[in-house]
Structure 1
């Protein structure tokens, strides 16, 4: 792949994520200032539910993504893709209607009913948009998908601005703007995909057979993705079931603060997949080995900002001071989940080890759900659930790393791996027993010690990078 193409895609992805981070920042720090804890909790419940609606794509999009990954636009069978899009869209409408009818007749709580009905609308819009989005990612035109994300994220700015300026304390307005953003993104993606719509429709029978093969190919990837989401999702479900909507809101607020960095990382990983898939096997190995060390150095540094963030959030949103008790335990998730999203999941998909990815995520779900149930119904302690969630994600990252090192035949750097785990656990513990300024001081000293302990690995990495640049 041409270097300029990669830089262009990465630049768009980074810009899109900056917009996303800014909109998320507004939602997380300004909306709670106007919304009550309960209203904010229902907004978080909507985001939580809507994150799972992609399950209705049953692996079809994922299979197309895996099959077409690395190809160019000229190599596409546009007639087949147009027919697939039509059948897929009809399928999503049918599933959304069934879900909406069930929600309307079964759910008693009017707010939960509104949330689920909105999710039904989003099911159609988001999955149809993802059909195009995944297609453009696969053919290495990720800048188009990034622009579509910019479009719908910008409307969050407007929504938050309205509720803050007019003091409208309702989550329903933000949901409406979220839906409107998806509609606008659809029109943009459909316009960019007009080269597909200009083609003729092919035979339905053969298309359905091909889509079933897409589903067979993509379902393990989809299930593994949802297993990954269920690691955190199962904990939030247990919190909602055991303590109700307000406790869910407090816990979700802590979780949302950990996602800022992870959102940026997910965009970079989107660009990496087609890029890494196009390079030679030996180059893939070198990239993994170097990138693994880079992430082990950079990601733990992000925790230095925990204390300033905790101080600012507590002053700005004192009603969420309870959430800060869990944030210190959950923030190391950024390190382990960041490596998982950016590097390990990407490489397992490139190497077509979707089933291994599924097994790793499945193991983490079992750990997370099991410890969440124990924490909720035996110890009746939310902090225990937070610790269980951190442990589950830590185990997932470790197992994925060891698996990939074995697949790529790379020697395990035991010192880097275990020293990283050690400082993350110590940080999480310190956050529960010390005040912010002491945490900042002690962790800064620990991080410097961590760098010194791994100075040989860092020096070797710098040497390799200089050698590569020299070529």
Structure 2
């Protein structure tokens, strides 16, 4: 693994661990202190926000592909200035239109969402720029800023003002989005020194970026549709309590991003430069073991449910099914999606994703038709992840699998669900960790030995 990749992983990993501390508190305090209705409203807003990226219509992803693999210092200041200011004007217009529609519809949550479009997409522009160019320390700072500011705002509403009004929490979220965006604008001016002056709008820049990135954007948003489809079904077909419990399970699942995001973020830049197929295959194997190990986070989350958040204990089975799906999603997003992007195969990526959305929709309907419980939608999500995994394999035949590698994610999924459904948190965790160690060594002996050797070297270095 290259030094730059290791540094990138470390920067983003540190940022994610900082995020974890604040997010852990937030995601346990809000469901504990707020009413089910207010918590459900906040989760509805967050569900809407996950679609904000649709409203740059591919511009940000066009920039991402345009600058991928370059150093930020190598980008002409004039080029970046025009690119950024064009998006800024475009997003102002989009925000005004969406806010007008939300007001006409008299939907408060939609109004807050409409106001979030401008700052979120501009902040995402900078995040993608820093990711594409390998500026991972700046990427990490963006992630921390949002999380920390929203955390303090939430704690203020809960403990100082002591309100259960969901609109207060949504308002503070929007304010934080604007603060982070403005700070990023100021930082970008410093980054490109004196060349980043003035404002301009270029129709050609707008159209070229949208043309270059629209398929990737639709692909990314389709991925969001796929992974959030189950919540839309729960919101439409079940009670507010069921939606709140299901959303809580999803928020627990999102904690894995603390460890997953460094991998998905840095591997794009790595795959843009990597040419050795054996190294790419080895990286894939590491990601497979990592995916199987990281889902063990579900057991501590269940432990907290058992002793602290008993009113959400019914979300435990949903949580384990969603975590099981991540054994496949992490490999898909970290390896295959990044390879689609790095090798400019976004057309193929888009087609496969459209197929999976249709399959996922059918799975959700069929599963709910068989058993009308919220867990049915989590089963549909797991089945969709498995289908997507299989659809990716033919596009990268050169990344060969042996029999043990093919069976590995399925063995781990079965073991994880058995430990999660049949045991309480502590014994389930211990049994699953032991199973991971044994099966990983049998399936990937070379990778496990290499990793163990590196760990021993690091430990001995610390002792000196």
TM superposition score normalised by structure 1: 0.87
Q: CA deviation at 1:135?
A: 2.2
Alignment-derived partner of residue 325 in structure 1 = 317
In structure 2, how many angstroms separate the alpha carbons of the residues matched to 1:437 and 1:13?
29
| Residues 242 and 376, structure 1, Cα contact 8 Å, conserved in 2 | no
Deviations 1:87-108 (A, max 9, x none): 322221222222222222224x
Q: How many residues align?
A: 453
In structure 1, how many angstroms separate the alpha carbons of the residues matched to 2:451 and 2:418?
32
Alignment-derived partner of residue 38 in structure 1 = 37
Q: CA deviation at 1:66?
A: 0.5
| Residues 300 and 335, structure 1, Cα contact 8 Å, conserved in 2 | yes
1:160 and 2:159 aligned: no
Alignment-derived partner of residue 292 in structure 1 = 284
1:272 and 2:259 aligned: no
Q: CA deviation at 1:276?
A: 3.1
| Residues 252 and 301, structure 2, Cα contact 8 Å, conserved in 1 | no
1:170 and 2:165 aligned: yes
Alignment-derived partner of residue 357 in structure 1 = 349
In structure 1, how many angstroms separate the alpha carbons of the residues matched to 2:132 and 2:294?
31
1:133 and 2:127 aligned: yes
Matches within 5 A, 1:14-163: 14-107=13-106, 113-163=107-157
In structure 2, how many angstroms separate the alpha carbons of the residues matched to 1:73 and 1:66?
13
Q: CA deviation at 1:6?
A: 4.5
Task: Give the unaligned 5+ runs of structure 1.
Answer: 108-112
Which piece of structure 1 moves more, 146-155 or 156-165? 156-165
3-state SS of the aligned residue for 2:70?
Answer: coil
1:425 and 2:417 aligned: no
In structure 1, how many angstroms separate the alpha carbons of the residues matched to 2:297 and 2:452?
29
Which piece of structure 1 moves more, 457-466 or 388-397? 457-466
Which piece of structure 1 moves more, 435-444 or 256-265? 435-444
Matches within 5 A, 1:71-470: 71-107=70-106, 113-166=107-160, 167-194=162-189, 195=192, 198-199=195-196, 204=201, 207-279=202-274, 281-282=275-276, 285-377=277-369, 379-404=371-396, 406=397, 409-428=398-417, 431-436=420-425, 439-440=428-429, 442-444=431-433, 446-454=435-443, 456=445, 458=447
Q: CA deviation at 1:384?
A: 1.8
> Residue 348 and residue 461 in structure 1: after superposition, are their counterparts in 2 closer, same or farther (change >3 A)?
farther
| Residues 265 and 341, structure 1, Cα contact 8 Å, conserved in 2 | no
Which piece of structure 1 moves more, 167-176 or 26-35? 167-176
In structure 2, how many angstroms separate the alpha carbons of the residues matched to 1:51 and 1:305?
23
In structure 1, how many angstroms separate the alpha carbons of the residues matched to 2:199 and 2:302?
57
In structure 2, how many angstroms separate the alpha carbons of the residues matched to 1:447 and 1:121?
45
> Residue 208 and residue 247 in structure 1: after superposition, are their counterparts in 2 closer, same or farther (change >3 A)?
same
Which piece of structure 1 moves more, 211-220 or 261-270? 261-270
| Residues 60 and 214, structure 1, Cα contact 8 Å, conserved in 2 | yes
| Residues 58 and 222, structure 1, Cα contact 8 Å, conserved in 2 | yes
> Residue 116 and residue 445 in structure 1: after superposition, are their counterparts in 2 closer, same or farther (change >3 A)?
same
> Residue 23 and residue 364 in structure 1: after superposition, are their counterparts in 2 closer, same or farther (change >3 A)?
farther
Q: CA deviation at 1:224?
A: 1.0
In structure 2, how many angstroms separate the alpha carbons of the residues matched to 1:132 and 1:197?
18
Task: Give the unaligned 5+ runs of structure 2.
Answer: 459-464
> Residue 203 and residue 385 in structure 1: after superposition, are their counterparts in 2 closer, same or farther (change >3 A)?
closer
In structure 2, how many angstroms separate the alpha carbons of the residues matched to 1:214 and 1:387?
38
> Residue 241 and residue 459 in structure 1: after superposition, are their counterparts in 2 closer, same or farther (change >3 A)?
closer
In structure 1, how many angstroms separate the alpha carbons of the residues matched to 2:65 and 2:140?
19
3-state SS of the aligned residue for 1:98?
Answer: helix
| Residues 155 and 177, structure 1, Cα contact 8 Å, conserved in 2 | no
| Residues 325 and 386, structure 2, Cα contact 8 Å, conserved in 1 | yes
In structure 2, how many angstroms separate the alpha carbons of the residues matched to 1:226 and 1:287?
30
| Residues 16 and 149, structure 1, Cα contact 8 Å, conserved in 2 | yes
In structure 2, how many angstroms separate the alpha carbons of the residues matched to 1:267 and 1:96?
31
Alignment-derived partner of residue 110 in structure 1 = none
In structure 1, how many angstroms separate the alpha carbons of the residues matched to 2:166 and 2:395?
43
In structure 1, how many angstroms separate the alpha carbons of the residues matched to 2:250 and 2:226?
12
Q: CA deviation at 1:438?
A: 5.6
> Residue 254 and residue 199 in structure 1: after superposition, are their counterparts in 2 closer, same or farther (change >3 A)?
closer
